[in-house]
Each structure stands twice: as structure tokens, then as C-alpha cells.
Structure 1
Amino acid sequence: MLMSQHHRIHTRIASMTRKRLLTGLLTTLSVVLTGLASVADESKPNIVVILADDFGVGDIQAHYPENKIATPYLDQLVRQGMSFTDAHSPSAVCSPTRYGLLTGRYCWRTRMQEWVIASYEPPLIAADCPTLPGFLKDHGYHTSIIGKWHLGWDWEGPQKPTMAPLARNSQKKIKWDFEKRIGGGPVDRGFDDYFGVVLPNMPPFCWIENDRVTVQPTDQYKYDSAQGTVMPRGFEGEPMAPGWEFDQILPEITRRAVSQIHDRAKQKEPFFLFFSMTSPHEPIVPSENFKGKSGIAPIADFVMETDWSAGQVIQAIDDAGIADNTIVIFTADNGHSHYTGWPELIAAGHMPSGPFRGHKGDVWEGGHRVPFVVRWPDHVAANVSNSHMVCLTDMFATFADVVDAALPDGAAVDSYSFLSTATSTNAANETSELRKGMVNHSNFGEFAYRKGSWKLVYKLGEKNLNLSRGKPTIAELYDLNNDIAEAENLSDQHPETVRRMTRELRKLISNGASRYGQIGANDCDVQFETTQKLRWAPSAQ
């Protein structure tokens, strides 16, 4: 009996010891895995994308020293990073470029075939469309956007917002309920949080935080030309928050972005910040510290304030001690605007589009060629230029390579990773291929197709958009290696090149995707050999 009792005690002690050992091992394993997760998070760089609004390819002085607007903050970024000299927005205007950046998909694959999202129109990004912020969130990132959205919301009111076939801003007189949640915006499309405006020149004139208006727009906007240049005259009487000041939009979103960087730097998880600037887009309203600073014109003052704003965000990264583990990209959504003071800039010797033809809205290079500067210490070489072709749709595939993750099925169908050329390594996913061609789209829905140095343009057949609707477009061909100003149409001299590139463009469109190995679907019947009849094309389904 004593032996049996002793055996039971020994067995109980052994069992307890095994439990303690197992508990200890599990605890140790948990600590190790937590530590590994922490290391993994720390190995993922923070990502800050600064997108200026209507900022020309010629507007950084370090890139074009003969130009006249001082940009000391961006000049410093150029010295610290790599400048891509053949970088492009997918569109020559706001909404479609933002769509392309956030989805990695050309916007003309949606029903919107021209112009931008009008006031109170519904979301352009479909609820089931994979987005860059959603992808990064799935891979451990906190995702934020500060500034301009301009991709539509589901506003609440007596009727649902609709996509007007031709009319612009036709819904501005509908009485919307600004106290209700606003669906379909940034926090429903992959972002953890948002602060900003619809855009600076369309109603409602108020701040939106996440999915709510912060202060009810109980006042009405009154047009006053003394407030700035190209004030939104067509929206007189529209809802506005009490005390709304247009010249305080850029300073406020700058403060918010700086604060966000300092807050996120204290957290363990990596972060993605999309600083979607509102300048130098109209209304041209430089704040008090910048009025008259350029000695040229208000638009030049506003470009200087844009430079300052971007500089504050970059400085916040440095001050927070996270510069070595943060990718910074500065770029723009399209070329410089031609209606906000262009003649004054030209007269002063400042060329917003550099040597390129055209400006915002155009199918020509000045409409969509943009500055593109990447800073990532110890990964991307400093103070160098890179002539590799880049499109803003490429950020999705590039950041997927950065986090070493495969793109989801059907995602980023027009996105190519530029990580390997930016870092001069073979670090990119082995299935990635460098971009060799590109499609650009104008404000009027015109198409341009690049392949190497050749650029095929299908432009309006008549003198304006309305006269061109439903009529054949005109094909022109340019050799950008020998004619960067697009001055000599070579379509008659090289008809076979026109035919070959036209076939390629047809295939690229019909495939619903342009990225290597991808097949997708367009949301409508996309035409480029005739001008579209409607701004919002009928659904393909």
C-alpha cells in the first residue's frame, strides 16, 4: 500500500512537472513569436505618399533650375532621393488619377469616361474592388488619408446620388442630410481613418472626419473674388460650415499630417499615410505667410506654400526618428493648371510643364507627366535620376513587393512594380516585370498609348468635346526620343507603327488588364477610336 501511495504521489508530481514545463515552453514560444512578429513589423517600412494637386512636372526648381519658383523643401528631397524623369499620372485630371493610384487599375475601365467626380456623385471605387490601403491593412499596416478625397460618397438625402450621363454638378441643389453617416468613402475603401475635404472648390464646404461631417454646414457660401483666384463662383449659396476659410485648408491638413506621423511613430505597427494635398489646385488661396512671397503671382505663392507643406510632413518623419524605415514618395495627380495664372508664370520665365507640350487636362505630356521623387535611406540611392517609365498605378504592385506579398487575384491589374529599378536589386517578386508601355487619358476622354519612345494619340475629331461625341477620333504618332515637345506628327511616315500600336491598345483594353499575365473585365464598353457619347457609359452588364 505504501508503495502504491508513493507511486501515485510520484506520478502526480511528474504530471505537475510536465504541465509546468509545457506551460513554460508555451509561454517562451509565445514570447518568441511575439518578438518575431515585432521584428517582422519593424522590418516593414512605413509608407508616406504625398500627392500634390495640379503641380506641374516643371514646378520643382531642383529639376528645372531655370524656373522661377523657389521650392527649397522639395529641392532637399530631390537631393535625398531618386527622381523618376519618365513618371506619369494615369489621367490628366483629379478623380481618375486618385482611382488609379488607390486601385492599380486604369479609371477608364470604370463607367466614368471623362472629367471628374461631380458634387455629390456616388463612390467611384466599387465596394468589392481591392485597394492599396486595404491590402496594406491586411498585411499589418495602419492606413490613413488626410486631405482631398474626390472619389465620391453615398450622401444621404431625399434621393440617392446618381451618376449624371452628361450634366456636371447637377445634384448640388438637392437637400442632403449632413448629420447622417456618409458611406462609400475612405473608411469603407480600406483606410482606418480620414480627415479632409471633398475637394477645396466643391460643396459641402466643411471638414469630414472618417464618415461624418465635423461641423454642420449651416451657412451659405458667398462668392467674393477678393478671397482668392478662381473662387468657386458656380457654387454660391451652397452649404458651408460657419467661419469656413479657404486659405486655412492647406495649413490645417498639414498640421494634421504632421501630428499623425508623430502619433504613429510611437506605435509598433507600420503605417501608410496618403497625404492627398489640396494645392495648388483652385481656389488659389495662399495663406498670410505666403501672400506675395514669390513676387510673381498668387499661383506662384501657392506653389511655394505647397512646397512648404510637403516639407513639414517630411521633416516630421525626420523629427520622429523614423526616416531610415520610411518610404517617402512625392508626386502629383496631373500637370499644372492653365487657368489659375499660367500666363503670369510664363511671362516671369517659369515653365510649369518644363519642355513638354500642354497642361492639366491634356493628352499631351504636360497633362500627365509629373514629378516623382522616392526617398528610402540605404535602399534607394540619393540625388540620382532614373529614366525608367513609371505610372502612379504602379504603387500598388510596388508596395506589394516591399512587404513581400503576392497581389490578390484580380487586384492592381494595371500596376507594375518599380521596386527593383528603384533599389537597383533583384529584390522584387520574380513574377514582376518592368513597365514598358502605358495608357494615359485626358479630361475629354482621349487616349494616348506609349510603347518605348513611341506615343500614339487618339485625339478629338472636332474642335471641342460636344461636337466630337460619337465621331471618329484622329490618330497621331510622336517619337518622344527625338521630339519631346510633340511637335511633329509622324503617323503618315510610320503607318505600320500606328496599326501595330492600335492593335496593341485594342487588346490591352479588351483584356481588362495590362499587367503581365492578368485578365480582367471592364465595367463598360470602352471606345478610343470614336469619342464617347456619355460621361458615364452604360454598364457592361
Structure 2
Amino acid sequence: MSRNLFWYLLFCLSTALLPAAEQKQPNIVVILADDFGVGDIQAHYPKNKIPTPYLDRLVQQGMSFTDAHSGSAVCTPTRYGILTGRYAWRTRLQEWVIAAYEPPLIAEQRLTYPGLLKSQGYATACIGKWHLGWNWPGPQRSQMTEKKNGQWKLTWDFTRPIQGGPVDRGFDYYFGVDLPNLPPFTFIENDRVLVEPTEKFQPDPAEGIVLPKAFTGAPSAPGWRMQKILPELTRRAVKYIEDRAEQKQPFFLYFSMTSPHEPVVPSPPFRGKSGIAPVADFVMETDWSAGQVIEAIDKAGLSDDTIVIFTADNGHSHYTGWNDLIKAGHLPSGPYRGHKGDVWEGGHRVPLVVRWPGKIEADSSSDQMVCLTDLLATSADLVGAKLPAEGAEDSLSFSSALRGTANPQPRTTLVNHSNFGEFAYRDGPWKLVYKLGGRNLEKSRGKPTIAELYNLEADIAEEQNLAPSRPEVVKRMTADLQALIDRGSSRPDQQSRNDGKITFKSTQKLRWAPAND
């Protein structure tokens, strides 16, 4: 063996044996749009009418997943699933979202996405919408209440630190809003309000549509403007990337956008730009915002070292201009039934695009079934970390799909949850739905749910209920869903425990399920 070959082989061996902390780890940037439909990226649905040039470019540069789903059809539960790798219906929250001033949904000791990456040497930041609860200081505690937004008129102390938020759940840094349409109307940085909300909120019709008029008089920062929220969040996310580019430490940025969720408040450069409706303008601004963050990565020379993930928390909203979009020929849910809030595909099927130049094939697609709870396990795989035995109960890695190789244990089943607490269970092409048994949620409480069965391979629009003709499939899938609930986990090697008493054969009587003792 020549001397040169000997030293080359020795170098290769020593590099392979270096501790993970000494090897270059990829940065990870997750961009989460809010109420952005599966049909809203024009590159995926060229006949749709809203231009999305920045996301179209991302599609050309990365891999698109055609069978990707949020764990829930609404905000809070999906965010919980992303950050914990666990279905949110395993908590006590069984419907809707975290209301104003309700406590943290993520338990203090629970494994989180940023917490796992932090243990691997990452700097971690959350910029944008939180909507997972805080322990607000005041003469009373933040509480789980059955009455929606039953605490917004109570007195809270905005001069003191707010506990239980992002910086207490794995993030080194946070800047954003709890959410744009609930009080208090002010930015929060780390664990304090940035500007004390000393004024009373007065909605300004000139700002946009679907304004939070019900919270007129709620605490607001002086001069608070809804139109400035997304531009400021975008600016902060871009600056974070620019600052991190000067550091050697890998970083994780969770950019949780506030658009195109209501209030629909496109800023002046985007007003009327779509020629369709304000919500279409806001979709265009959402595309621009995501684009600024991606361009910041590229301009900083971080492209090859950064995994970019773009997705959405649920389907497009049906109450912010849906009819205007349909009339214009834009289908926010593509060919799928339903929209935000629904147990149907349009409620929880979401866009998912992943870019990592040189590692993930450009302009490619995968039909691998994916849930957003899987981002945690997948990222762990990609950075060489191992999931601990406890936590991340419903997180299954799809890193093999990203690499274009066979996955020995691909996800084949999936649970989705609606705004009203309805369950859907996927097993391959089969989808079993347990929907409300009454005219609405309140009329359904405590009553048996109704089972419907669909074959998505033959009926993507969920038009033909096969439950009457295939009772054996309904029976098998019902038993499998019950077993998955009872086991407390989707991970094949793990048994865990739900926080509350979970039922799907009847509609829950309470928004917050009784705790498991």
C-alpha cells in the first residue's frame, strides 16, 4: 500500500469516527403557513389562479409530497403535533383550539422538536404564531375552560414574565404573537410582551376583512396595526437567518406564519394584486413572505447546508372569501372534499415541500403517506440523532423517501381529527370516518357517531360511502383505530398513555376530556 493511500484511508476513517457534534449538521428551517390549502401552490395545480412564484421555485428545487396531512384540521392541534410528534387528541383537548389566556398544551417535561435539536447542539428559534397556550400572570391562573374565550375579559398582568411558552418548551428565542385574532394584541419577545397593551382594541375596517370585532375593547399595544404583523415577522425571520449565518453553530428556525389566516389584512403592496379577492392577495403575500426567508438562506450562502420545509397547518378557510376563489376558478382544496375544520381530505391534506440541494432530488415528488407529526422523527434521522424511548409517540420518519430509497417501515396508517373532534382513520387507500351524529356539534354531544368508509384510490373526492357494502373493512379498521388509541402510540416499539379519556364512537361531551388518573 502506498504512503499516500494509507494516509487517505486513515483520514477517511478518522472523519467517519468523529463525534456527531464535530461534524457539520444541516440547519433546519420549517415554514408553516396558516390556513393555506393543498391547492394554493400554483406549481402543484397549474390551473389554479393565484400566482405563487416563490413557492413554485421551491417546488422546482425540492421534493413535493402528494399524500401529506396535518394531524388536525385546525391550528392548535396541528402545532402541537409538529412540535411534539404526538397526535393532539391524545391530550385532553378534544375539539377546536386553545382559547385566549388558556394554559400550555405542551406539558413541561415533554420531548419537543426544538428540544431534541437543542440536545444535538442546535440554536433554536420560533418566530411567528404560537397558539399553544401560556401561563399568563394575573390574580387568577390560566385555566382550561369549556366556554370558548371565557377568560378574555379577566384582568392579566402584562408587566410580568409569561411562563410555559416557546422559551420554556425548547426554543432559545421567540418573537411573535400568540395569534393575530385573539388578545392581547401585541408582540411577544421571549417571555414578555414587547409593548405593554395599555390601549383598547378598536378594529379598523380599512385594514382588511374578517377582523376580530368580538374582541373590541381587549388589551392592545398603542397604534397596533394588523397589516404590520406578517411583514414584521418576515423581517425578523430574515434577520435571524442573516445573524445565524455568521455563526458556526447549526440552527433550527420554526417560522410559524400568521397568513392567510384571518384577519385577512394584506399589506399595501399586495392589496388588489391578485385581482380576485383580499384573501387571494393575502395568499400572494404569504408566498412572498416564505420567499423572503428562502432567499435569505440562499443569499447567506447556506443553501447546501440547510433543509427547508414548507407546509401548512390545515386546509384553506371557508369563511374568508372561499366563494370568491371558487367563482374565479381557484380551488383551494384541489380535487378534495371540504376545507379547514373538516374531517374530509380538504381539511387536513396539506402541501409539503422539502429542499436540501445535493441531498434531495430537485423537482421530484413522493406519494409516501406523511403526517406532520413525522417531521420530528425525520429531522432526528437527518441529523443523526436517535429518538428517545419516551415521547414523539406518533412520529415516524420519512427520511428514506427524501433520499429516494426504500423505507423498511413506511407509514401506512394515519389518524386525522376535525374541528368538532371527529376521527378519520386511514389504512392504505381506505379511509374510515366517524362523523357527527346530529345536525351540529352541540346536538351531537354524547350521541353515537356515524361510520362512513371511502376508498381514496378510486374515489379521491369521498363521494361514495362504502360502509354498507364493506362491513368487514369497517369492523377491522374500527378495531385497529381503537387499538392505536389504547396503545397511546403509533411507534411500533412503544407503548404510552393518553392524557384524557378518548372516544370516537360517540361525540365527546366536553371540549376538555376528563384526565386519565
Q: Is the 8 A contact 2:21 2:121 kept in 1?
A: no
- Which letter maps to 2:191? D
Measured in 2, the distance between the counterparts of 1:351 and 1:425 equals: 33
Q: 2:172 — aligned with what? A: 192
Q: Is the 8 A contact 2:38 2:332 kept in 1?
A: yes
TM-score using structure 1 length: 0.92
Number of equivalenced pairs = 503
Distance apart, 1:179 and its partner CA = 0.5
Q: 2:473 — aligned with what? A: 497
Distance apart, 1:351 and its partner CA = 0.3
Q: 1:446 — aligned with what? A: 422
Q: Residue 499 of structure 1 aligns to a residue in which SS?
A: helix
Q: Is the 8 A contact 1:461 1:472 kept in 2?
A: yes
Distance apart, 1:273 and its partner CA = 0.2
- Output aligned runs, 1:379-418, within 5 Å: 379-418=359-398
Equivalent residue in structure 1 for 2:84, among 62, 85, 103: 103
1:313-345 CA-partner distances (Å, limit 9, x unpaired)? 000000000100100000000000000000000
Q: Residue 350 of structure 1 aligns to a residue in which SS?
A: coil
Counterpart check, 1:535 vs 2:511: yes
Distance apart, 1:425 and its partner CA = 3.5
Counterpart check, 1:302 vs 2:278: no
Measured in 1, the distance between the counterparts of 2:97 and 2:409 equals: 31
Q: 1:318 — aligned with what? A: 298
Equivalent residue in structure 2 for 1:172, among 146, 152, 155: 152
Q: Is the 8 A contact 2:389 2:494 kept in 1?
A: no
Measured in 2, the distance between the counterparts of 1:325 and 1:425 equals: 21
Choose 1 or 2 for highest CA Rg. 1
Q: Is the 8 A contact 1:41 1:270 kept in 2?
A: no
Measured in 1, the distance between the counterparts of 2:184 and 2:73 equals: 25
1:1-59 CA-partner distances (Å, limit 9, x unpaired)? xxxxxxxxxxxxxxxxxxxxxxxxxxxxxxx99x956x855521000000000000000
Q: 2:485 — aligned with what? A: 509
Measured in 2, the distance between the counterparts of 1:310 and 1:359 equals: 22
Counterpart check, 1:472 vs 2:452: no
Q: 1:9 — aligned with what? A: none
1:343-394 CA-partner distances (Å, limit 9, x unpaired)? 0000000000000000000000000000000000111111011100000000
Measured in 2, the distance between the counterparts of 1:226 and 1:378 equals: 47
Q: 2:125 — aligned with what? A: 144
Counterpart check, 1:43 vs 2:3: no
Q: Is the 8 A contact 1:41 1:268 kept in 2?
A: no
Structure 1 residues without counterparts, runs of 5 or longer: 1-31
Q: 1:75 — aligned with what? A: 56
Measured in 2, the distance between the counterparts of 1:264 and 1:467 equals: 52
Counterpart check, 1:55 vs 2:31: no
1:432-490 CA-partner distances (Å, limit 9, x unpaired)? 72101000000000000000000000000011000000000000000000000000000
Measured in 1, the distance between the counterparts of 2:384 and 2:290 equals: 28
- Which letter maps to 2:405? T
1:196-234 CA-partner distances (Å, limit 9, x unpaired)? 000000000001000000110001101333321100011
Q: Which contiguous aligned blocks of 4+ residues in structure 1 show a shift greater than 4 angstroms?
A: 39-42
Q: Residue 235 of structure 2 aligns to a residue in which SS?
A: helix
**Taking structure 1 as reference, are residues 281 and 41 closer, same or farther at Cα in structure 2, changes over 3 Å only?**
farther
TM-score using structure 2 length: 0.96
Equivalent residue in structure 2 for 1:135, among 116, 132, 143: 116
Q: Residue 457 of structure 2 aligns to a residue in which SS?
A: coil
Q: Residue 233 of structure 2 aligns to a residue in which SS?
A: helix
Q: Is the 8 A contact 1:71 1:307 kept in 2?
A: yes
**Taking structure 1 as reference, are residues 387 and 269 closer, same or farther at Cα in structure 2, changes over 3 Å only?**
same
1:514-537 CA-partner distances (Å, limit 9, x unpaired)? 111110000011000000000001
Q: CA RMSD in A?
A: 1.3
Equivalent residue in structure 2 for 1:327, among 307, 310, 320: 307
- Which letter maps to 1:101? I
Measured in 1, the distance between the counterparts of 2:204 and 2:174 equals: 30
Equivalent residue in structure 1 for 2:496, among 520, 526, 533: 520
Measured in 2, the distance between the counterparts of 1:313 and 1:121 equals: 31
**Taking structure 1 as reference, are residues 264 and 36 closer, same or farther at Cα in structure 2, changes over 3 Å only?**
farther
- Output aligned runs, 1:230-245, within 5 Å: 230-245=210-225
Equivalent residue in structure 2 for 1:459, among 435, 455, 464: 435
Q: Residue 195 of structure 1 aligns to a residue in which SS?
A: strand
Equivalent residue in structure 1 for 2:335, among 355, 373, 376: 355
Structure 2 residues without counterparts, runs of 5 or longer: 1-13
